[in-house]
């Protein structure tokens, strides 16, 4: 079953703009992670945020977590063409030993 | 280089012909898992393993088998593949499972005709 749902499903922006994508989930979580996938390739881990954290930064990435709303957002600042990819959130609840992925946001960054 | 290696990368097979997709990691990770990715459905977990000889079902285990005889290897077995198992498959490993970064293989694109 899907735990996370990303929004929007697709996003197209110009290079230099910021990109924001959102993830909503259904049940309480221990951790939330964001991954990037270039077309048809393996996923690459971007950032992990724990349920007791509200915000985390890594380079041009900023992730927020609002456990009261069961949602997270990923902000990519000053986007580049190389950021073109699909982005997935993944959650774990701590009770079931698995990572559950959302359906992803496809980001297109044009020159 | 730390990596998860899947083989083969591409496979076309016929219905009913048993196949194995291999997965190997060189990071001494305890936790390994298999996912399938289908358009509009995201990644769904097939099976996972928390350590050697410890495996459990994920969300979509029907039609698949796994084994974990060694820490580094976690093969996915399709005893009798069917066309609805046509998909993109990913193996992943992480140090301790939940709460740690998962490393993914490059994927195996399987077509069952």
Residue B99: what pLDDT?
78
Helical segments of chain A, H only: none
At B70, is the pLDDT very low, low, confident or very high (cuts 50, 70, 90)?
A: very high
Taking only residues 3 to 22 of chain B, the set having a beta carbon closer than 8 angstroms to any beta carbon of chain A reads 4
Q: How far apart are CA A65 and CA A70, in angstroms?
A: 8
Token digits for A71? 């949602």
Q: How far apart are CA B74 and CA B6, in angstroms?
A: 10
Q: What does the DSSP 8-state code read for residue A17?
A: S
CA distance A55 to chain B (A): 16
Model pLDDT for residues A22-80, shown as the tens digit of each residue: 999 998 899 999 999 998 789 999 999 999 999 999 999 999 999 999 999 999 999 99
Q: Is the pLDDT of residue A2 over 60?
A: no
Instruction: For chain B, report the end-to-end CA distance as a whole number of angstroms.
Output: 36
A42-B42-B26 Cα angle (round to 5):
30
Taking only residues 70 to 109 of chain A, the set having a beta carbon closer than 8 angstroms to any beta carbon of chain B reads 88, 90, 92, 94, 97-104
Model pLDDT for residues B5-51, shown as the tens digit of each residue: 999 999 999 999 999 999 999 999 999 999 999 988 889 999 999 99
**B95 or B113, which is more confident:** B113
Taking only residues 74 to 93 of chain B, the set having a beta carbon closer than 8 angstroms to any beta carbon of chain A reads 88, 90, 92
Residue A93: what pLDDT?
80
At A96, is the pLDDT very low, low, confident or very high (cuts 50, 70, 90)?
A: low
Residue A95: what pLDDT?
63
Residue A3: what pLDDT?
61
CA distance A30 to chain B (A): 8
Strand partners, A20: A75
Q: Could you tell me how far CA B91 lies from the centroid of its own chain?
A: 4
Is A31 in Cβ contact with B43 (below 8 Å)?
Answer: no
């Amino acid at each position: 079953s899907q735990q996370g749902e990303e929004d929007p499903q697709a996003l197209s922006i110009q290079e230099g703009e910021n990109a924001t994508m959102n993830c909503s989930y259904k049940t309480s979580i221990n951790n939330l992670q964001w991954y990037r996938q270039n077309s048809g390739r393996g996923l690459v881990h971007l950032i992990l945020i724990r349920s007791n954290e509200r915000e985390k930064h890594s380079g041009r990435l900023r992730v927020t977590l609002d456990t009261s709303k069961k949602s997270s957002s990923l902000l990519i600042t000053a986007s580049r063409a190389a950021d073109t990819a699909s982005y997935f959130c993944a959650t774990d609840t701590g009770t079931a030993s698995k990572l559950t992925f959302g359906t992803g946001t496809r980001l297109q960054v044009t020159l | 280089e730390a990596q998860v290696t899947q083989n083969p990368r591409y496979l076309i097979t016929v219905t009913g012909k048993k196949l194995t997709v291999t997965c190997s990691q060189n990071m001494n990770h305890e936790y390994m898992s298999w996912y399938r990715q289908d358009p509009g459905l995201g990644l769904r977990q097939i099976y996972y393993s928390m350590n050697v000889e410890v495996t459990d079902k994920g969300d979509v285990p029907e039609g698949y088998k796994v084994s974990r005889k060694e820490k580094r290897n976690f093969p996915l077995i399709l005893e009798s593949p069917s066309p609805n198992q046509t998909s993109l498959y990913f193996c992943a490993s992480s140090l301790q499972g939940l709460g740690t970064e998962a490393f993914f293989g490059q994927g195996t694109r399987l077509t069952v005709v």
